[in-house]
Structure 1
Amino acid sequence: MGYPKPPMVLDDDMILVNTFEEAFGDIYPKGVWRELGKKASSNIARYVVALASFIGYKRSFACTGFFIEWNGSTIILTSASLVRSSSDENRIDENLRIEVLLPSKRRTEGRLQHYSLHYNIALVSVEDCRVVRPANVHPSRFGWSKVAAIGHCFESGALMATCGDLVSWSGTLDCQYIVRSTCKITKAGIGGPLVNLDEEVLGMNFCDTRIGTPFLLWTDIDNILAHFREKSKAIEFGSDSVPSGAAFWKMHGDHSGLLNRWPVPMPCWCHREDVHKDKSEDELVSFDPQTGRKRRYGYIQGVKVELY
């Protein structure tokens, strides 16, 4: 599963946190799904998938994705964290194998087609998969009230949804295009769609358990997808102008000097009481599985660091 081994001395009060199996909200078709309506819920269930990346048989990452229409075909939009190298966040891991859990519950191989590490999105294709109704996207920036974040768990196959509102951004992520909702999701929901109650996709979600759910608006995603289309054309016609640094391409108007960072909470063992502490403390106590010693972690500019 790719998780750290438990401490040598493990008491009943210790649990593994920040896993990819942690559910959120309501499981399809109950709760929030009834607010979305039967038709909308059914459509969402047909285009949302779960993905996982592996090195050999060891899992590296798991997240959500969803089918969109792009460049004359259907393809999965998801988070580039799926393929980001664990040793160098500015690169992808070329050795990763991708598996996709389809809405039919069938698992199939996925293939990375395009990615942007700066904006943390990726396109993954699958073969022999008929998508009747891909996501219905909404390009407008305004006019929404209640929204819902959707996630799909790779192991259990649970399709999850939770409601919230759009709020002003107050997070620590670097990307200047990030917007935020009050939806509370887990790591399993990274890469999933944010939808309005009419089932229109407004953007793609990331995860920050302390402040709600950051997401990229569809208007900005569409600009990135347009760049991917240009890259595909250049490759098709054998152009030498194909950018080699896919991770570092930036949209017009993006004045960031460095590559955006997209930290994800790392799985670790900790005491149950520490999990329920106020998230505003931005601190977590965990145990080194080799030595059994207690370690304290905090967040500095959204990055998990060990505190001394």
Structure 2
Amino acid sequence: MFLFFFGKVNGRLVRTFDDAFGCLHAWRGYKGFYNAFGSRKNAWQRLDKKIVETISRRVVSLVSFNGNGMRFFICTGVLVKCPLTNGGTRTVIVTSASLVRTCEATDTIDENMRIEVFLPPNQRLNGTMESYHSVYNVAIVTVKGLRKGLPEDLELHPESLPRRVVAIGREPKGLLCASMGEPILGREDLDKCSAFGCKDLRLSDCQIAKIGIGGPLIYFFNGSLVGMNFYDGRPSGTPFLPCKQICEVLHLFGLELERRKTSEAVRRLDEGQHETNSQNRWPVPPPFWYHGWLEVSRFGPMRMRGRVLQ
């Protein structure tokens, strides 16, 4: 009883990279886990089986490590077909540039970070940072030797926002996370996305955690890509970058590949644009201690209630 009380009083650290979200889904053969458990709507049981299989072969977990070998950032990525100028395509991973953003300087990417890509059940490979778009906070990563991946064809993405969407993430152990919801279309809600300094962001009411950063927002009925999720800690919704802007980044990357003669350093695709994120650099909310019984959180102590002394 004392230990239980002690744990409640001292609380727990929340909003970390170890927090999953929504309903979980494991691959066949994963030990000690039953699929589709979670506190919210059971998205995995509602999604078509073909969509679930496609997601399993398309969504990857990414971890970056600094020069000292310390884990720096964890997020989700999605395999997509990048159109090339010669009419062909190249499979790349689209994710958040926060994976390699430094903490010391504005809009700075650490090109020396090691990136680990995980596609269950047993493909854990080194990824290569190719290019990034700072305004949209999008990074393009490539990986050699990845087998049985099923990249998304962005030419098939919906023109308008669908009514039902699902936010997808993959945590470091490989479990898939899913949270169902709808796009939020109110102008007032859209303006709240300006905290990231990007006017093209939209909102859904899907609830995710940090590991869902860079993960896909998909159309519930056919699994097509709607956008890329970000996380700012708000309880009322999740910002996402629409597929239209992701296609713009991929188009710039295709043009960049044509200009490259030899292997070069990581290139910024939006270089020269007037819009910058010099003030906030797409901030990621830090962890905080949550105390269950004391109702103490990042919003401050609870309001004390009781008899007022005369």
Q: 1:177 — aligned with what?
A: 200
Aligned positions, number: 266
The normalised TM-score by structure 1 is 0.77
Q: 1:187 to 1:50 in 2, by over 3 A?
A: same
Q: 1:114 aligns with which of 94, 109, 131?
A: 131
State the AA in 1 paired with 2:24: I
Q: For 1:274 and 1:206, how far apart are their aligned partners in 2? A: 30
State the AA in 1 paired with 2:228: M
Considering fraction of residues, name the structure with more strand.
Answer: 1
Q: 1:69 — aligned with what?
A: 81
Q: Which is worse superposed, 105-114 or 45-54?
A: 105-114
Q: 2:13 aligns with which of 4, 12, 16?
A: 16
- The answer to whether structure 1 residue 60 and structure 2 residue 72 are counterparts is yes
Residue 140 of structure 1 and its aligned partner are, at CA, apart by 3.5
| Preserved CA contact (<8 Å) 2:119 2:174 | no
The normalised TM-score by structure 2 is 0.77
Residue 149 of structure 1 and its aligned partner are, at CA, apart by 0.2
Q: 1:271 — aligned with what?
A: 291
- Structure 1 residues 40-51: aligned runs within 5 Å: 40-51=51-62
Q: 1:84 aligns with which of 90, 96, 101?
A: 101
- Over the matched positions of the two proteins, sequence identity in percent amounts to 36
Q: 1:274 to 1:22 in 2, by over 3 A?
A: farther
Q: 1:32 to 1:95 in 2, by over 3 A?
A: same
Q: 1:117 to 1:143 in 2, by over 3 A?
A: closer
Q: For 1:126 and 1:22, how far apart are their aligned partners in 2? A: 26
State the AA in 1 paired with 2:275: S
Structure 1 alignment gaps of length 5 or more: 1-9, 286-308
Q: 1:129 to 1:283 in 2, by over 3 A?
A: same
| CA deviation map 1:106-151 (0-9, x unaligned) | 2111110111122110111111112442124344341511100000
Q: For 1:243 and 1:113, how far apart are their aligned partners in 2? A: 5
Q: For 1:152 and 1:218, how far apart are their aligned partners in 2? A: 20
- Kindly report the root-mean-square deviation, in angstroms, between the aligned alpha carbons of the 2 structures: 2.8
| Preserved CA contact (<8 Å) 2:17 2:74 | yes
Q: 1:273 to 1:96 in 2, by over 3 A?
A: farther
Task: State the structure with more CA Rg.
Answer: 2
| Preserved CA contact (<8 Å) 1:48 1:65 | yes
Residue 52 of structure 1 and its aligned partner are, at CA, apart by 0.5
- The answer to whether structure 1 residue 25 and structure 2 residue 52 are counterparts is no
Q: 2:230 — aligned with what?
A: 206
Q: For 2:51 and 2:238, how far apart are their aligned partners in 1? A: 22
- The answer to whether structure 1 residue 130 and structure 2 residue 142 are counterparts is no
Residue 246 of structure 1 and its aligned partner are, at CA, apart by 4.4
Residue 94 of structure 1 and its aligned partner are, at CA, apart by 2.6
Q: 2:170 — aligned with what?
A: 152
Structure 2 alignment gaps of length 5 or more: 1-6, 26-34, 37-41, 302-310
